[in-house]
Structure 1
Amino acid sequence: MNVKLANQPLEQIQADLTLEFLTAVQLETHPHKNLLTQAGFKAEQEQLCTLHEHRLLICGISDVSHESLRSAMSTAVKAAMNYAYVSIKLSQYGENLFKSLIEGAILGSYQFNSYKSQPKAISLKEVIFSTQNIDKIALNADTLTSILEESIIISNATNFVRNLVNQTPYDMTPQGMAVTADSLSKTNNLDCTILDVNGLESEKMNAMLSVGRASINPPRLIHLSYKPKNPKKVITLVGKGLTYDSGGLSLKAAASMVTMKMDKAGGCAVMGIIKAVSELKLNIEVHAFVGAVENMIGGNAYKPDDVLVAKNGKTIEVRNTDAEGRLVLADVLGYAQEKIKADFIFDYATLTGACMVALGPYTTGVMGHNETLKQEWLSAAEQSGEYCGILAFNRHLKKLIKSDLADVSNVSSKPYGGAITAALFLDNFIDEDMKEKWIHFDIAGSAYTESPWDVNGYGGTGAGVRMTLEWLLKLQQQGHN
């Protein structure tokens, strides 16, 4: 969707359809109140009414807020895409709310049709925003242009991640992720290092190698770097990139295997984040590491009862091969910390179904030792339009991953607190000096949806991209002590 800004009053902009948002209170004084009321329109959140004879699309909102407008914009654009109109125009609803409207338009209009033999033709091509506010006051065009440019980059990066997540495991293998990263590095002037099996063996990344051993698609470690001159901070991002997860010998049920192409969403997210960072030209050095692996079955598959030696030398007792993402992350976290001395390290992973049980299907789990840092991320998520919830560590849960055979077990001895025990497992592979600088994001629920909600349609959501860029932009603007 082409989203642009016109430095004109709304009535002077040429477009096929005008979009308005109304609260129930505003409906009472609307010039078309009687017509809207006859149509049953009550201005409820995301309720739509199209007055074609007036070339007017009305969308209800519960209040004039970021969340209401973002979601309503998405709903309205999706509705307009079913019409034959080519362009739609609307006023501003305050400078501070412009970003939410842009995201609603771009993220809401997203479609993934790569596997459709005859995708539906869409007439709507353009959303035009006036620089004039809904109250007829002209807003600063330069400020709005800056907001538009930044929001387009962030929204496009989110859709880039969605495209990667939605590709089938046949098309997006570990090698496919490596090719995508290499292409991104050339397009966005990033440094790119890729380790194949020989490289992983040289780095003694035995846990990651074990997970991918039974697949005909060998694993790849991807390292993308964005290095501005004299950066304010250095940030490391680590993503789980399971291009497909059958569960291994601890085989998933048939129904649970469907949608497992989404198990690479963490790796896709960090690639999308560094893409946006480079396009925003932030003065922050960012390193994105992806462990791209396929977990399959075969005669040479790793097994329950195996003991693996991770890159940092710790030994892991395998009790369940379907708890494979944490094994991959253990090695990638070790590699990332060895190669880069960062100010912060954040990992993103569709790690546990337990996180969905704890927080629901829309919310990312936030875990770590630094309470202040976790609160910062809750704030960044809220401001970006994503949902996050903190899951607290405690010393008793840590005992549940104790192994009598090795240093640590890859699964808990009890079926409770699974998202937290998975994060506590990862804690074994965080260096002591990075404990307070590390956050783990469990995006198992938020990264993929089979039921459209908010700005998300069926498939990948791009979870983690917007909130991370919000946090990085704040870091860029204010510094971080």
Structure 2
Amino acid sequence: MKVTVCAKINDRPISDVTVVPFFTHKKGEVASAFTEGDLKQTLEDIAAYEDFSAKQGSTLLVLGGSEKDERLLFLGLGSVETVSSNSIKEAIAAFVKRARGKSQWKRVNVVIPKVKGLKAEVVFEAVVEGLFLSHYLFEDLKSVDNRKLFYMDKVTVIGEGTNGKITQIQKLHTGVTLARDLVNRNAKDATPSHLASVCKNLAKKYPNVKTKVLEKKELETHKMGLLLAVGESSADEPKLIMMEYLNGGSKSTTMVVGKGVTFDTGGLNLKPTNYIEDMKCDMGGAAAAIGLMKAVAEQNLKVNLIVLVPTTENAIGSLSYKPGDVYTSYLGKTVEITNTDAEGRLILADALAFGQKKFKPDRIIDLATLTGAIVVALGSERTGYYCTEDKLAKKLEEAATVTSEKVWRMPLDKEYASQLKSPIADLANCSKKRMAGSITAALFLKEFIEEGTPWIHLDIAGTAYLDGATSYHMTQATGVGVRLLNELVSQLD
């Protein structure tokens, strides 16, 4: 899909469908969100019939608007008082969803609404990002006859904006697409070796990216006992993938660590039916971290970024690590395994400690589909996050507002840490109580962060992989974290 901009409505190209946004007003009247040019009278005449409510995400197809428009599609933005950047993206997604499977909709015009209270550049970016976010499918696993694709070859957005900005957004979304693709693939294909291969290919494509992969023997040399424990029964040996992108000169360095459990059986504490089926998504943190690296490199951002991906399967076999046993971490702390299904924090712990010692970053961010507890707390609307520095937390929340990847700060009260005490080791990997599961998981990770280092933990268990398609996510995999962290690292000094 090629997206370009056209400044004036009268200069728009001939289209198979032209999308025109509409508002609803206080008294229920419907009015076009764009009232200029040769379509003005046509839109007013059609709207006067009151066949269109203009509710958020509603659409009405009208044949023949002018000689330039074979079809008009009215698109509802909802109440003019409540329109936001995110609601515009969601409305655009409603159009894109309707376009799916329509082979005759190849040339598309999308009129940019004029929204009181929102800057023109914000509206423009919301329209373009809505197009790229929703124009994603993963039909690779279906037979050809059952694939329902998009046929939009050329999309022209009409209004105030630049092709340069479109290009930037498109480059960012190459990272989102990569993250989604990695999560949507079969677990038998998206293995630790596959993730390593993807990262090596990024280094081949982008001169500023360097990739190094620590294989099992090197993990043993570095005594990464927790990562090795989880990977004991993995058919594809565990690895630690490291990527460097140092393009920011004297700017500070951010290290991002993504959990890469490519399939999580739960280990000997086996996951039950209705939970295990989705566990190919347990590398959503790794996918986001890798996608972030691609997005940053594609845009040639002037930042310094380190990405680490500890990756393995949490499989079952005669060598599986066992509940009740104690393993020694890279940092030297010993950990009693109270639950083999709390494996993500184990592989992250070794990666966090190793990465901090090797790269000495100014701040650390990790992403992980870590706990069911965060899903209970926040559902799929917000990512729960933990942070040791208020200044960094504020920056993250600002990035969340810009990208509409919503977050919610969770507590790190030290009183919860008593649940991680072990009579036989320095720490237990999981509390035996059901309460505060996401908090105790974060506190476990905090044990492996050097005091004074700003740190964010993002628990994306509820937001990385949805129950089904919704809004501008046409597949279960969302790529959450890529846009959020791209915005964050772009704003850091």
TM-score (norm 2): 0.90
Aligned to 1:42: 53
CA distance in 2, matches of 1:38, 1:229: 57
SS state of the match for residue 459, structure 1?
Answer: coil
Could you tell me whether the CA contact under 8 Å between 1:48 and 1:76 is conserved in 2? yes
Query: How many Å separate the matches in 1 of 2:149 and 2:461?
Result: 33
CA distance in 2, matches of 1:82, 1:117: 15
Question: Does 2:30 align with 1:27?
Answer: yes
Which secondary structure state, in structure 1, belongs to the residue aligned with residue 469 of structure 2?
A: coil
1: distance between equivalents of 2:318 and 2:258? 28
Q: Percent of counterpart pairs with the same letter?
A: 34
1:158 aligns with 2:186: no
Deviates further, 393-402 or 89-98: 89-98
Q: Residue 179 of structure 1 aligns with which residue? A: 197
Query: Is the deviation greater in 161-170 or in 119-128?
Result: 119-128
Q: Is the counterpart of residue 459 in structure 1 residue 476 in structure 2?
A: yes
Report deviation, 1:121. Answer: 4.5
Alignment of 1:346-425 (within 5 A): 346-425=365-444
Q: Which amino acid aligns with 1:124?
A: M
Report the counterpart of residue 241 of structure 2 in structure 1. Answer: 222
Matched, 1:450 2:485: no
SS in 1 for 2:123: helix
Equivalent in the alignment of 2:111: 91
1:56 to 72, 78, 90: 72
Whether the aligned pair in 1 keeps the contact of 2:368 and 2:459 (CA below 8 Å) is yes
Give the 3 Å change call, closer, same or farther, for CA 461–10 of structure 1 in structure 2: farther
- Deviation of residue 172 (structure 1)? 0.8
Following superposition, the deviation at residue 255 of structure 1 comes to 1.5
Aligned to 1:122: 150
Q: CA deviation at 1:283?
A: 1.8
Distance across 1 between alignment mates of 2:51 and 2:314: 53
Name the structure 1 match of 2:84.
65
Structure 1 residues 232, 261: closer, same or farther in 2, change over 3 A?
A: same
Kindly provide the CA deviation profile for residues 163-213 of structure 1, in whole angstroms up to 9, marking residues without a partner as x.
Answer: 011111110111111111111111122100001100110111110011010
| Contact 2:100/2:148 (8 A) holds in 1 | no
- CA deviation after TM superposition for structure 1 residue 123, in Å: 2.5
- Secondary structure of the corresponding residue to residue 249 of structure 2: coil
The answer to whether residue 226 in structure 2 is matched with residue 207 in structure 1 is: yes
Q: Does 1:107 align with 2:133?
A: yes
Which deviations, in whole Å up to 9, do the C-alpha atoms of 1:297-329 show, x marking residues without a partner? 111100000101000000111000000000000
* Cα 1:216/1:10, change in 2 over 3 Å: farther
Distance 1:12 1:35, change over 3 A: closer
Q: Secondary structure at the match of 2:219?
A: helix
Q: Distance in 1 between matches of 2:328 and 2:480?
A: 31
Distance change in 2, residues 1:39/1:216 (3 Å): farther
Where 2:350 maps in the other structure, the secondary structure is: helix
Equivalent-residue separation in structure 2 for 1:450 and 1:126 (angstroms)? 31
CA distance in 2, matches of 1:158, 1:294: 23
Alpha carbons 1:45, 1:61 under 8 Å: kept: yes
- How far 1:251 moved relative to its partner? 0.3
The normalised TM-score by structure 1 is 0.93
Q: What does 1:229-308 correspond to in 2, within 5 Å? A: 230-308=249-327
Query: What is the deviation of 1:50?
Result: 0.9
- Measured in 1, the distance between the counterparts of 2:379 and 2:272 equals 21
Range 234-243 or range 67-76, more displaced: 67-76
Taking only aligned residues, the RMSD between alpha carbons, in angstroms, comes to 1.7
How far did 1:296 drift? 0.6
Name stretches of at least 5 consecutive residues in structure 1 with no aligned partner: 133-138
Counterpart-to-counterpart distance in 2, 1:18 and 1:185:
41
Q: 1:207 corresponds to which letter in structure 2?
A: L
CA distance in 2, matches of 1:32, 1:50: 12
Alpha-carbon distance change, 215 to 37 in structure 1, aligned in 2, over 3 angstroms = farther
Match of 1:334 in 2: 353
The 3-state SS of whatever aligns with 2:257 is: strand
Query: For the Cα contact (< 8 Å) 1:10–1:91, is it kept in 2?
Result: no
Task: For residue 8 of structure 1, report the CA deviation from its aligned partner.
Answer: 4.8
CA distance in 2, matches of 1:229, 1:473: 10
Q: Does 1:314 align with 2:333?
A: yes
Task: Report the AA paired with residue 30 of structure 2.
Answer: L
SS in 1 for 2:95: helix
Deviation of 1:431 (Å):
1.1
In structure 1, the partner of 2:15 is 15
Map Cα deviations across residues 114-144 of structure 1 (whole Å, 9 max, x no partner). Answer: 11111235332221112x3xxxxxx4x5xx2
Letter aligned with residue 357 of structure 1: V
Aligned to 2:68: none
CA offset at residue 34 of structure 1?
6.3
8 Å CA contact 1:19–1:56 kept in 2: the answer is: yes
Larger mean Cα displacement after TM superposition, 239-248 or 447-456? 447-456
**In the alignment, does 2:167 pair up with 1:149?**
yes
- Match of 1:122, as an amino acid? F
Structure 2 unaligned blocks of 5 or more: 33-39, 66-70, 114-119
Q: Output the CA distance in 2 between the equivalents of 1:181 and 1:427.
A: 27
Amino acid at match of 2:465: Y
Contact kept in structure 1, 2:21 and 2:75, CA below 8 Å: yes
| Matching residue within 324, 339, 344 for 2:363 | 344
Structure 1 residues 174 and 21: CA distance shift in structure 2, 3 A: same
Q: Distance in 2 between matches of 1:37 and 1:306?
A: 73
Return the offset for 1:378: 1.7
1:222-247 CA-to-partner distances (Å, cap 9, x unmatched) read 00111126241211000000000000
1:245–1:296: 8 Å Cα contact kept in structure 2? yes
Work out the CA distance in 2 between the residues paired with 1:124 and 1:146. Answer: 21
- 1:10 and 1:128 map into 2 onto residues whose CA distance is 13
